[in-house]
Chains A and B, each alone.
Chain A
């Protein structure tokens, strides 16, 4: 793991969850940015890639799986930790198939998040 604190991008359409998760990420000592939609995230990508992506599955317009597929089609490889309300839903299965490193169910505990991201960063 690099000595610089990891940069984590959080994509979730729920404002409260987004803000809280970002705060939590910072409390781990990570750098974190939050986006309200897949589109917003994609527009910010050119400015710099994160070390890890925390991605909510259920979002209007473009959901988590669709974003994963867009990234794959552009050849962009970022470790993805998917956050979902239902771990066994069809959407969750598709997320796994699309290469998600881990699946976290809401509500998640801080240790779970830390562990998942650290594992994802290790590759």
Chain B
């Protein structure tokens, strides 16, 4: 509330707020002495004295007391005096500015309550909440942050927040703040990422950090919400380990299914070896063997022995557990190996295989064993789909070509001449436990999907032209997969 009076104390004007609160209409009080209008009677003399001091250019202290409204009700007010000087420095009037104390007290109470609530929120928040100023000094440190880092708030407030960071984050943080101040470019604000924190006891731990910016009271503050994700990281590691286990178990399982084919593949060279050897022995016994024949036979025996060794080697490679390691790999060779493992099954079922692989297929970085598992799975599914149809028309077409999805990559397509999907949507196929086989585990395609997606790739299926079903999987090229922030090859 503002009232302005001349040097003699005659009210010149009241501001709207004063008018509203006190109920005095300016027209009625103008030119009347201010100390006879505003204060309650017991305070009139004191205001007059202070006013005149202010009018004389001397300092007048703030005061507190009751003012009287037009309707006789009282207001608790705190007010101040300020002299108005002209160009020459002479006081020509005084401004009396008052504040409704009760309203002020109510606002203070609300503020205190609000602060109380704010602190309560901070204190009960599960996540650590840390605010820092523009220079990186910690302004607040909630209870959860104390728990996460092991420091009491008092030990941290006022110090640079980089004390909570291990190298190399610590050294860079001031630089980040500086950079943001200068360029305004947001690198982490509103974005959030995984970083590492440093506890009081010196241990490092993974944490999820979200940073927000607040401008309050002319000051810029940054709020960091931190969550200790050690547990989550452990769970992720565990999940990855289990996927590897499951993939391994499934390979063993399918190895059992491949067994009869492999037994056959080993029987072939063994049969040849035995027959050559027996034949030679008879001929030697009968005296009908000549050097050339024996030489040729020995050579064949050796070669067939090596052939058997190769079959075993291929099998062992397939089921080895191994660390999941991505290495540069020639997909065409992997495809050939997979077809080799399935040679018997393809032959027995009289499947004609057509392989379309451009020679210029770039190398991909893959876990060879796992991708071969995907290939074996898809090819076996294709064979199964075709088995119920006429044997003359069983065709398996494999295609390996460069393909651009969200990034440059390579696509492998397995096209069978089976019944296809008809009207059914093929998406469910990749769900775990979905199977149309009576004795199926329903895990094959789900594992394929996990493996392909772990390589940042995509796997999908569709009806083929002119018929049958086609399964595609796409893998990104090494550079694309390694680009930071690149989206894995998923179409939204």
Contacts and interface: CB of A to CB of B under 8 A. Distances in A.
Contact of A13 (B264, B275, B347): B347
Contact of A106 (B271, B278, B348): B271
B347 A20 contact: no
Interface in A1-58: 13-14, 16-17, 19-21, 23-24, 26-28, 58
Given A16-B268, A17-B271, A24 B278 contact: yes
Contact of A60 (B268, B270, B303, B347): B347
Contacts of A21: 271, 275
Interface of A: 13-14, 16-17, 19-21, 23-24, 26-28, 58-61, 63, 85-86, 91, 106-110
7 contacts: A13-B347, A19-B300, A20-B304, A23-B297, A27-B279, A86-B260, A107-B271
Given A23-B297, A27-B280, A110-B282, 4 more contacts: A13-B347, A20-B274, A58-B264, A106-B271
B342 to A, nearest CB: 13
A63 to B, nearest CB: 7
A58 B272 contact: no
Interface residues of B, number: 31
A16 B300 contact: yes
A16 B350 contact: no
Nearest to B270: A107
B128 interface: no
A60 B280 CA distance: 30
Contact of B279 (A20, A58, A59, A60): A20
B275 A106 contact: no
A106 B267 contact: yes
B274 A107 contact: yes
Contacts of A19: 272, 276, 300
A17 B268 contact: yes
A27 to B, nearest CB: 4
Given A27-B283, A59-B347, A86-B260, A14 B268 contact: yes
Interface in B266-325: 267-276, 278-280, 282-283, 286, 288, 293, 297, 300, 303-304, 307
Contacts of B487: none
Contacts of A106: 264, 267-268, 270-271
B438 to A, nearest CB: 17
B275 to A, nearest CB: 4
Nearest to B286: A27
B379 to A, nearest CB: 16
B103 interface: no
Interface string B143-181: 000000000000000000000000000000000000000
A107 B267 contact: yes
A61 B348 CA distance: 10
Contacts of A27: 278-280, 282-283, 286, 288
Contact of A61 (B274, B278, B282, B350): B350
B283 A16 contact: no
Between B282, B283, B297, the greatest number of chain A beta carbons within 10 A of the residue's beta carbon is seen for B282
Interface string B336-358: 00000000100110101000000
B263 interface: yes
Interface string B366-399: 0000000000000000000000000000000000
B260 A24 contact: no
A2 B141 CA distance: 106
A110 B268 contact: no
Between B267, B269, B275, B307, the greatest number of chain A beta carbons within 10 A of the residue's beta carbon is seen for B275
Contacts of B304: 16, 20
Contacts of A108: 271, 274
Given A16-B307, A23-B275, A27-B279, A85 B267 contact: yes
A107 B272 CA distance: 8
B13 to A, nearest CB: 109
A115 to B, nearest CB: 14
Given A61-B350, A110-B275, A20 B300 contact: yes
Contacts of A110: 274-275, 278-279, 282
Given A13-B347, A63-B350, A110-B282, A20 B276 contact: yes
B274 A23 contact: no
A103 B276 CA distance: 21
Given A19-B300, A58-B264, A63-B350, A109 B272 contact: no
B258 to A, nearest CB: 14
Contacts of A91: 348
Contacts of A13: 347
Contacts of A17: 268, 271-272, 275
